[in-house]
Structure 1
Amino acid sequence: MSGGHLVHGMGTALEAPTWPAITQAEAEAVLDRFPAAGRLIDLNWHSPRPFSAAALIETDRGVHFLKRHHQRLRTPAALAQEHGFMAHLRAAGLSVPDVVTAANGASVIALGEWTYELHHDAPGIDLYRDRQSWTPFLTPGHAHEAGAALARLHRAAQGYEAPARDDRPLVASFTILSASDPLAAAEAYIAARPALAGWLADKPWRQELTRLFATLGEGVPDQVPLWTHGDWHPSNLLWTAEGQVDTIIDFGLATRTCALHDLAIAIERTAFRWLDLGQDDALGDVDTARAILAGYRTLLPLPTDMATLARLLPLVHVEFALSEIDYFAGIVGDSDQAAVAWQDYLIGHADWFLSAAGQDFLRRLAGEAVA
C-alpha cells in the first residue's frame, strides 16, 4: 500500500507523501502499547491528508483510527494539549473522537522519531474524506448544519481555560490580527520561528504585510478568548444520512483564539474555490457564508457585527500561512512548497479580496443582517 499511496498537495494533484504510509508491522507494534484496542486484523484505508500519516485499522475489537506524527511537529506533550481540549468537549456532550489510552495511561505514545495517537471509530459517514480541504460543501444544507455544529462546539468550549499551544508549526493561532499593532505582532511571530525567519529573510515580507494591512484592514483586537477548532471544513466533519453533522474530527490545528476567528476560518475554508485561483475570478459563494452564519445563529448569536467579520475575513488565513511556511521550511525542508504557501496562499488569497469579485463578496457579506 505504501508504495502507491498518494496524498493531497497544495494544488489539485495528488502527490507522493512526505510521511510514509503506516505499515502493518508498524500498526502491530503500536497496538502492543494499546492493549485495550485488541489485535490487528487489517489496515482498511490510508488517509490522503498530507501533514501526517493516518489509517483506519481493523482489530478483533473493532475499527480504530491510527495517526502518526513526526516528533518535530507534534511531541507527546503537544498532542496531549489537543486531547485535553477534546476531552473537555466530550464531557460537555459534543461528539468528538474518543482517544484510546495506552498501557501506561497516556493518550499518546512515542516510538523512535514518531508519536502515535489512536482513536476509537467515531460515529458518522465520512462523506468528504477523499476531497481536498479547500473544496466547498456538497449542498447548502451541509453549510447550514456545519454552522450549527460550530456553534455547538463554541458553546461546549466555554470554560476551557488551558493556555494557547506553543510555537510549533501547523497551529491556527490568532496573535497577529488580534494585536493593536499587527505588523509588530507579525515581526514577533516570525522572529520566534527561526526556520520561518530564515526563509523570509531575502523576501520583502514587511512591505507585503504592510500593504495588505493598509488595504484590507489591520485586524480585530479585543475579542473574548476561546479554544477553537481552527480548521473548519467539510472533511473534518462526519455526517448522518440525513445531512446533519454527527461527529467533529481533527483537532490538530486547535488552540486558544476566539469565536470570531473560528467563524472566519470556517468561511474562508469553504465559501471559496481557492484551488481555481488564477483561472476564475468568481471564486466566492456568499450564499455558503450566509448559510454557515444562519446555522450558527440557530444556537448562538454571532460574536460580532458583520462589518467586523468582513474586515477579518480577507486576512484570517495569514497566520496559518506563515505556520505552513514554517512547517515546509523547517520540518520538511521543501522551499518550493513554502513558496506556494507564501505567494499563492498568503498573498494570493488576500489579493483576491482586493479584486472586483472579492470586494463585491465583502460588501454583500457586510450587508447581511444580523438576526
Structure 2
Amino acid sequence: MIDDAHLTHGLAGDELPPDWPALTEREVAQLLSRVPKLGATGAIRWRSPRPLSAAALVETASGRVFVKRHHASVRSAATLAEEHAFASHLRAHGIPLPPLFTDVTGHTAMAMGEWVYEIQAPAQGNDIYRDAFSWSPVGGLRHARAAGSMLARLHQAAEGYVAPQRATHILVARADILGARDPVAAVEAELAERPALAAYLGDRDWRAELSATMAPWQGAAHAGVRRQPRLWTHGDWHVSNLCWSDASDAATIIDVLDLGLSAATFALFDLATAIERNAIAWLEIAQGEIGHADLALALLEGYHAVKPLSDDDLDVLASVLPVVHVDFALSEVEYFEGMTRRRDHADVAWHTFLHGHAAWFATPPGQRLLDAIRHAGARFVLQ
C-alpha cells in the first residue's frame, strides 16, 4: 500500500490535492478482473502527479501495468477509443508506444460506472522527467534534438492515418480557433455545444478580450494554417511524455507516452507546441527572459534532420507559435468550469495561459525567440 494523500501538479508549478479521487486497490481489482490474463492484482506502487486524470502503476500476477482513469464527462469510451486507434496506427508504423490491454469484450476503453479506464503495459526506458511540471524546459540541447527527431518520426508515421476529427473539445489540442479567419465568430459558433465554456465567457467581455489577444497574430497565423496539410498530431510533445535510455545527455528515446491531447491538426502545429512546451519557462514568466532559443533551435535541428523544414515552414511556425495554445486554453477553461467546478483554475487558463502567453511573444524576449525561429534555416545549412 502507499499513502493515498498524494499531491498533483498545480497550474503555478506547485503541488495541490488532486481534483479527482485516487485510484483504489479495490477499484483496480474490479477493473482488472475484466482482463483475466493479467491474473490477481497486487499493490498500487506509484501514483501519477498529473492533474487531469487519475493514474497509477499496479502490480499484477503478470507484472506491472499502468492504469489510467478518466471521468466520463471528460472522456467517454468512444472518445478514448479515438486516441487508442491513433496509437495503434503509430505503433504499427514504428513509433514506440506502450501496448494497450483489451478486456473480455475486446475493447481497450473500459467504462465502469461514471469512469472510463485504460490499461497499458508499463513504459520501457527511464521516465527521467516524471516529476517535471508542464512548461518546464527540456534538460539540455541533446535531449531537445532527440525530442525533435522523434517528433518528426511520429509525423512521418501519422501520414496516411485517416479518421474524423475528435468528437470532443475537452482537453484536446485542436486548431479550430487558431485556423479561423474570425476567431470570435468561430468561438461563438461552438458555444451552443459547449455550455460550460459559454457559462464562463458569459461573465466577461470575452469578445473584446479575445480579439485584442488574437489581433497581432491572427492574420499571419490564418494565412499559414490554411496551406497546411491535415495530420493527426500528438498535441502535448513535452519531454515528460517521453521515456529515455538513461539520464545522460546522450540518452535516446525508448518510448512515447500519452496521446490524450491528440487531434487532427497539422505538423507545424505540433512542432510549435513542442517549442511552447519545452523551450519557454512559463512558470517564470514574471522574469520576462524565459525563452530558450538554444533549446528551440535544437528541437528544430533534430526535426529537420528527419523531416526537412523549408524557410516557409519556419515562417509559418513563427506565425503560429504565439497563438498555438489558444484552442487548448479554451478547452481547459471549459474543463475547469464545467467538470471540476474550479472557477479559480478556469481564470488561470483564461488570463494567464490564453492571454498571458500570447502577450509574452509581443515583448522583446518573445520577439527574439520568434526571430531565431524564422532564421533557423541558416543553422541547418551549416550542419
Check whether TM > 0.5: yes
Alignment gaps of 5+ in structure 2: none
User: Any residues of structure 2 matched to 1:246-325 within 5 Å, and which?
Assistant: 246-278=254-286, 280-302=287-309, 304-325=312-333
SS in structure 2 at match of 1:217:
helix
Identity %: 46
Structure 1 range deviating more: 294-303 or 71-80? 294-303
Question: Is 2:28 the counterpart of 1:27?
Answer: yes
Asked if structure 1 preserves the Cα contact closer than 8 Å seen for 2:183 and 2:211, the reply is no
Structure 1 contact 225–257 (Cα < 8 Å) conserved: yes
Per the TM alignment, residue 25 of structure 1 is displaced from its structure 2 partner at its CA by 1.0
Residue 329 in structure 1 maps to residue 331 in structure 2: no
Q: Answer yes or no: is the 8 Å Cα contact 1:8–1:49 preserved in 2.
A: yes
Partner residue, 2:170: 169
Cα RMSD over matched residues? Answer: 1.4
CA distance in 2, matches of 1:71, 1:63: 25
Deviation at 1:201, TM superposition (A): 1.0
Q: Secondary structure at the match of 2:339?
A: helix
SS of equivalent residue, structure 2 residue 148: helix
Deviation digits for residues 156-194 of structure 1 (CA, Å, limit 9, x no counterpart): 111110011013410100111222333322332444311
Distance 1:68 1:167 in 2: 17
How many corresponding residue pairs? 370
Q: Shift in Å at residue 123 of structure 1?
A: 1.3
| TM-score normalised to structure 1 length | 0.97
Which of 221, 229, 233 is matched with 2:226 structurally? Answer: 221
Distance in 2 between the 1:305 and 1:191 partners? 35
CA 1:301–1:188 in structure 2 vs 1: closer, same or farther (change >3 Å)?
farther
Structure 2 vs 1, CA of residues 130 and 185 (structure 1 numbering), >3 Å: closer, same or farther? Answer: same
- Counterpart AA for 2:38: A
Moved more, 98-107 or 355-364: 355-364
Tell me, what secondary structure is at the counterpart of 1:55? strand
Q: Secondary structure at the match of 2:232?
A: strand
Q: Distance in 1 between matches of 2:69 and 2:141?
A: 34
Asked if 2 retains the 8 angstrom alpha-carbon contact of 1:261 and 1:316, the reply is: yes
Deviation string for 1:212-254 (max 9, x for gaps)? Answer: 2222233232210000000000110011124111111001000
CA shift at 1:93, angstroms?
1.4
Give me the whole-angstrom Cα distance separating, in 1, the residues matched to 2:135 and 2:39. 36
* Stretch deviating more after TM superposition (118-127 or 210-219): 210-219
1:362 offset after TM fit, Å?
1.4
Structure 2 match to 1:240? 245
Whole-angstrom CA distance in 1 between matches of 2:190 and 2:226: 16
Give runs of aligned pairs for residues 62-81 of structure 1, distance below 5 A.
62-81=63-82
- Tell me, yes or no, if the aligned pair for 1:43 and 1:58 is still in contact at 8 Å: yes
Which structure has greater helix proportion? 2
Contact 2:46 2:57 in 1 (8 A): yes
Query: Is 2:130 the counterpart of 1:123?
Result: no
Q: Is the 8 A contact 1:178 1:223 kept in 2?
A: no
Counterpart contact for 1:124–1:238, Cα < 8 Å: yes
Q: Distance in 2 between matches of 1:190 and 1:139?
A: 42
Q: Check whether the contact 2:135–2:282 (CA below 8 A) recurs between aligned residues.
A: yes
Letter in 2 for 1:203: R
Alignment partner, residue 137 of structure 2: 136
What is the TM-score when the length of structure 2 is the normalising length?
0.94
**Cα pair 1:81 1:165 within 8 Å, conserved:** yes
Asked whether the equivalents of residues 79 and 168 of structure 2 are also in contact (C-alpha less than 8 Å), the reply is no
| C-alpha distance in structure 1 between counterparts of 2:135 and 2:214, whole Å | 24
Match of 1:39 in 2: 40
Letter of the 2:270 counterpart: D
Q: Kindly tell me: are residues 102 and 196 of structure 1, through their superposed partners in 2, closer, same or farther at Cα, counting changes over 3 Å?
A: same
Instruction: Write out per-residue CA displacement over residues 250-291 of structure 1, whole angstroms, 9 at most, x where no aligned residue.
Output: 01000111101000000011111101122x010100111111
Contact 1:123 1:247 in 2 (8 A): yes
